[in-house]
Amino acid sequence: MIQLNKIEKKLAEQLLLTIYNNESYVTFKELAKRVNIEIRHRQIGKHIAQISILCHELGLPLLSAKVRNQSTKMPGMGFYPLYEMMGIPTNGKTEQELYKSELQAIRNCKEWYKLEDYLGLDIGLPRPTPRQSPKLLDARRPYPYAKSVDVLNICFGEEYLGKHYDGWMMGALNFEVNDTEYGVWFPKLAINGKAASKSGWINTISDDGMIIEEYGSDDVFVPSEEPTMVFAKQGNDGYRFKGVFVADMERSTEEHHYYYKIADVADFRTSVPVIHRFDDERESDDKLIAELRDEETFAPANGFVYNGKPVPVPELKQIQERKIYPRNKQKAINALAHAGYVCEIDSKHFTFNRKRSGVPYTEPHHLVPMAEQYHFDTSLDVEENIVSLCSTCHNHIHYGEGAEELLKQLYKARKKVLASAGIVITEEELLSYYK
């Protein structure tokens, strides 16, 4: 890109202001006055020619057409040679016709903000309205196929491309979140089949979507160690988010690469994007259960009843390299007490008394898993969402065959109570969280 000097930047700003103010032209003399710099207006011609060269490089019409000579009512002498100089076809048009069509193009152009941005100005020229894209990317949800350019817009906003990165067509790019480098990768994937990229590399994805295998004949390279958001192409319909993957460095060689999935969800709705690494729901349950084990009194909060009101989402807590939503011990105790310390699948299920407090032993389970908190704008760590289960049913729900039936039963019993706490969810959605 051509660089403008200080005077030229001031001139460009004034010319953009004529667009902003709907002025159809400005004279050389007037323009010299407006930039308020000691400059003879006859010298302006060579500077505005530079501006037009930049415009052309940005894909914009030649802005110097806005400046005309007071007496001839035509642009300066340097205007027409620009076409030949930059190889813009004139299609046999006369100078008069070229001038007219350039002014027309300037009027019709909706992208003057590009020059505004390039020069770091803040004039307030119209911009395209931001795309209404979902910025929560969830590999498990049906998600429309998108072009790679749309994918980047979804992640980074419309302006990301134009301003900071124009090499995306290479197939990958890197960005940084909280000091961690991330990559974005657009492989052509095949499930148990072959889909070679142009360079001859073959990318396959395992049936369960957890492992990507990549191999090629020439141009061997070591895969990147950064977590990589994968937008895979399967067929000709564009790209779809597949999850966040990391190269398995121990297994990979220069010719044969393996990547494994670390997250299904990348959330770009906040100013700092969050990659939701897999959080083992059962593991987090166990931490909570261990906390309850040592409770002396096991008493519910005084006068506890269901709140019946939505509660704000708690802050994410950093635990090692994962971010998780904390679980409140007292709420679990309240919920177990509310259930009368029996299993909510069947109150006759076997239980025994707790060693310290003597109350019958059941375990708290978050019906809508805490790991899905980012789908909701109210807290999932509320008594309304915590069910009391005997040890067997709890394990059945997490590990067992036929857990769907238990979930359906609990959903039916809790649907209204969940909604009262702002947790609105269909049975189908709930079941999908357990897959």
Please name every residue paired with 213 in a beta bridge, in sequence order, or none if there are none: 204, 258
Find the residue with minimal CB distance to Zn ion. 393
Indicate whether 279 belongs to the interface with Zn ion (CB under 5 A): no
Q: Measured between alpha carbons, how far is 66 from 74 in angstroms, rounded to an integer?
A: 10
Q: Measured from the CB of residue 329, what is the shortest distance to Zn ion in angstroms?
A: 15
Q: Which stretch binds Zn ion (CB under 5 A): 28-36, 83-91, 319-327, 346-354?
A: 346-354
| 333 closest CA partner among 381, 391, 394 | 381
Tell me the three state secondary structure of residue 151.
helix
Indicate whether 345 belongs to the interface with Zn ion (CB under 5 A): yes
Indicate whether 242 belongs to the interface with Zn ion (CB under 5 A): no
Q: Measured between alpha carbons, how far is 9 from 3 in angstroms, rounded to an integer?
A: 9
Looking at the Cβ atoms of 119 and 345, the one nearer to Zn ion is: 345
Q: Measured from the CB of residue 279, what is the shortest distance to Zn ion in angstroms?
A: 12
Query: Binding Zn ion by CB under 5 A: which of 48, 262, 343, 371?
Result: 343
Query: Binding Zn ion by CB under 5 A: which of 9, 141, 349, 415?
Result: 349
Q: Which stretch binds Zn ion (CB under 5 A): 156-164, 169-177, 258-266, 343-351?
A: 343-351
Q: Which stretch binds Zn ion (CB under 5 A): 49-57, 253-261, 314-322, 393-401?
A: 393-401
Phi-psi region of 314 (alpha: psi -120 to 50; beta: other; left: phi over 0): beta
Looking at the Cβ atoms of 95 and 346, the one nearer to Zn ion is: 346
Q: Measured between alpha carbons, how far is 418 from 414 in angstroms, rounded to an integer?
A: 6
Q: Which stretch binds Zn ion (CB under 5 A): 214-222, 271-279, 374-382, 388-396?
A: 388-396
Q: Measured between alpha carbons, how far is 47 from 101 in angstroms, rounded to an integer?
A: 22
Looking at the Cβ atoms of 102 and 344, the one nearer to Zn ion is: 344
Looking at the Cβ atoms of 277 and 365, the one nearer to Zn ion is: 365
Q: Measured from the CB of residue 112, what is the shortest distance to Zn ion in angstroms?
A: 56
Indicate whether 365 belongs to the interface with Zn ion (CB under 5 A): yes
Q: Are strands 180-185 and 228-233 parallel, antiparallel or unpaired?
A: parallel
Q: Measured between alpha carbons, how far is 82 from 335 in angstroms, rounded to an integer?
A: 76
Query: Binding Zn ion by CB under 5 A: which of 390, 418, 421, 430?
Result: 390
Q: Measured from the CB of residue 381, what is the shortest distance to Zn ion in angstroms?
A: 13
Q: Measured from the CB of residue 390, what is the shortest distance to Zn ion in angstroms?
A: 3
Looking at the Cβ atoms of 240 and 365, the one nearer to Zn ion is: 365
Q: Which stretch binds Zn ion (CB under 5 A): 201-209, 229-237, 372-380, 384-392?
A: 384-392
Q: CB of 389 within 8 A of CB of 365? A: yes
Query: Binding Zn ion by CB under 5 A: which of 393, 410, 421, 423?
Result: 393
Looking at the Cβ atoms of 365 and 375, the one nearer to Zn ion is: 365
Indicate whether 4 belongs to the interface with Zn ion (CB under 5 A): no
Q: CB of 387 within 8 A of CB of 364? A: yes
Q: Measured from the CB of residue 291, what is the shortest distance to Zn ion in angstroms?
A: 14
Long-range contacts of 268-276 (CB under 8 A, 24+ apart): 268/135, 268/136, 268/137, 268/154, 268/155, 268/156, 269/135, 269/136, 272/177, 272/178, 273/155, 273/177, 274/177, 274/316, 274/323, 274/374, 275/177, 275/182, 275/227, 275/244, 276/323, 276/371, 276/374
Q: Measured between alpha carbons, how far is 236 from 238 in angstroms, rounded to an integer?
A: 6
Query: Binding Zn ion by CB under 5 A: which of 102, 264, 285, 383?
Result: 285
Q: Which stretch binds Zn ion (CB under 5 A): 135-143, 159-167, 320-328, 357-365?
A: 357-365
Looking at the Cβ atoms of 80 and 341, the one nearer to Zn ion is: 341
Looking at the Cβ atoms of 194 and 435, the one nearer to Zn ion is: 435
End-to-end distance of the chain based on CA atoms, in angstroms? Answer: 51
Please name every residue paired with 256 in a beta bridge, in sequence order, or none if there are none: 215
Q: Which stretch binds Zn ion (CB under 5 A): 7-15, 241-249, 288-296, 382-390?
A: 382-390
Q: Which stretch binds Zn ion (CB under 5 A): 100-108, 140-148, 199-207, 283-291?
A: 283-291
CA atoms within 13 A on the CB side of 157: 14
Please name every residue paired with 243 in a beta bridge, in sequence order, or none if there are none: 230
Q: Measured from the CB of residue 132, what is the shortest distance to Zn ion in angstroms?
A: 36
Q: Measured between alpha carbons, how far is 360 from 390 in angstroms, rounded to an integer?
A: 10
Contacts to Zn ion by CB under 5 A: 285, 343, 345, 349, 365, 390, 393
